[in-house]
Amino acid sequence: MQRTFSVLIVLVVLVAAIGFYRGWFGVTSHPGADGNDVNINLRVDKGQMERDAEEVKLEAVDLLDKVKEKTSGSGATTAPVR
């Protein structure tokens, strides 16, 4: 149970780090009206996430096409999966 929780925490931190690096998330802060408060805002850019996901998808398709091209051109055959 503890190992699963640790893996989950690592994944959340990893996604957050990649998200901030890629511009998916942003944090801004400014003082409140009376000067004692601080307002903190979290911005989520869904459009940037979708563009990055589409870019990864296109790169994966290109890579798959290259692999298919190399394997079909070399005369290699694949064994049936059992």
pLDDT of residue 74: 59
Q: What is the DSSP string of 34-81?
A: TSS-EEEEEEE-HHHHHHHHHHHHHHHHHHHHHHHHHHHHTT---PPP
| pLDDT tens-digit map of 9-66 | 999 999 999 999 999 999 999 888 888 899 999 999 999 999 999 999 999 999 999 9
Does the pTM exceed 0.75? no
pLDDT of residue 81: 64
pLDDT at 75 over 90: no
pLDDT of residue 35: 80
